């Protein structure tokens, strides 16, 4: 190499480094947790619409951690150590997925600060099971989505009978509605009393008094919405008894669902309670 080029090379590299620092912020500069922590959202800062087709709920979001996983989004509450809501779209094609959940373990979500990372073993030997909000049955279209729905941020303490029977009946119905209408948008989550009891080996999760789910279909000419509320106990809860309007679920939770719809359409669909409309 020419001796003059050798002398100029360190100077050129130094100039390039200075220009890079000026125009490209250093990753994680001034924020030690940003590489593992999700967005800390307020009611004003939460996006109205996710990257996908599902409008995220708004309201009662202060202090929640907004997390995006493959196939679904959620708002995690560090006080209850449960999601406030989980939202996803389920398409007809996705319901035909063949990915198995065999060998897929529940795991801590590293997008949450370590002190709030509920572990699967927190549930060991307790009175409540690990209740999926976004169900594994809806995530069979992708290995990554199947793995992600087993993050503990997608899980709530749920009684065995509700988890394995009535809640599962509703999950299966939603998959049928997705196949029937081409796609549905779903949001679900827990409802807590003012002073919920706590549960867990190390991390003390709040135990929900019940769970809600709202479902929207925008199939042209057959647009409809419906809500459901189930108590977190082992009592029989047929789907028809759990039906609520989306308006009722909004009053119960403080969230505004499907806010991206035109106002007239939103008002009309969110007042619906006719379960028969979903069986046509």
Domain annotation covers residue 272: yes
Q: Considering its fold, how many domains does the chain have in total?
A: 1
pLDDT > 70: what percent of the chain?
Answer: 79
The token duo for 66 is 């907004």
Asked if residue 165 belongs to a domain, the reply is yes
pLDDT tens across 169-185, in order? 999 999 999 999 999 99
pLDDT tens for 79-98 read: 999 999 999 999 999 999 99
How many Cα atoms are found within 13 Å in the side-chain-facing hemisphere of 46? 27
In a domain, 174, yes or no: yes
Report yes or no: 161 and 234 within 8 Å, Cβ to Cβ. yes
Cα(246)–Cα(113) distance, integer angstroms: 33
Is there a domain that residue 269 lies in?
yes
Does residue 6 sit within a domain?
Answer: no
Q: Is residue 15 part of a domain?
A: no
158-167 confidence digits (pLDDT tens):
999 999 999 9
- Paired tokens of 67: 């997390």
Q: What is the CATH number of the domain that holds 129?
A: 3.40.570.10
Phi, psi of 148 (to 5 degrees): -65, -35
Kindly state whether residue 26 falls inside one of the protein's structural domains: no
- The Cβ of residue 279 has, within 10 Å, a number of other Cβ atoms equal to 10
Q: Is residue 18 a part of any domain in this protein?
A: no
| Exposure class string for 212-231: b at 16+ Cβ within 10 A, else e | bbbbbbbeeeebbbbbbbbb
What residues make up the domain containing 91?
39-279
């Amino acid at each position: 190499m020419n001796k003059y080029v050798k002398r100029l090379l360190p100077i050129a590299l130094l100039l390039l480094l200075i220009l890079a620092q000026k125009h490209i912020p250093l990753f994680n500069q001034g924020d030690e947790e940003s590489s593992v922590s999700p967005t800390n959202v307020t009611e004003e800062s939460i996006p109205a619409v996710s990257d996908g087709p599902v409008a995220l709920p708004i309201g009662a979001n202060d202090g929640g951690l907004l997390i995006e996983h493959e196939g679904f989004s959620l708002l995690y509450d560090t006080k209850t150590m449960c999601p406030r809501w989980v939202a996803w779209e389920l398409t007809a094609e996705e319901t035909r997925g063949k990915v198995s959940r065999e060998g897929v373990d529940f795991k801590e979500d590293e997008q949450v600060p370590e002190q709030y990372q509920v572990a699967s073993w927190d549930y060991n030997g307790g009175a409540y099971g690990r209740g999926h909000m976004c169900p594994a049955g809806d995530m069979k279209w992708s290995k990554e989505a199947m793995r992600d729905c087993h993050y503990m941020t997608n899980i709530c303490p749920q009684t065995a009978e509700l988890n394995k029977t009535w809640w599962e009946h509703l999950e299966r119905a939603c998959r049928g509605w997705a196949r029937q209408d081409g796609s549905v948008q779903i949001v679900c989550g827990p409802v807590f009393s003012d002073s919920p009891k706590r549960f867990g080996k190390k991390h003390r999760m709040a135990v929900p008094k019940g769970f809600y789910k709202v479902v929207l279909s925008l199939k042209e000419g057959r647009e409809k919405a419906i809500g459901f509320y189930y108590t977190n106990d082992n009592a029989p809860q047929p789907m028809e008894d759990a039906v609520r309007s989306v308006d009722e679920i909004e009053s119960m939770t403080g969230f505004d669902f499907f806010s991206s719809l035109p106002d007239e359409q939103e008002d009309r669909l969110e007042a619906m309670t006719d379960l028969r409309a979903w069986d046509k």
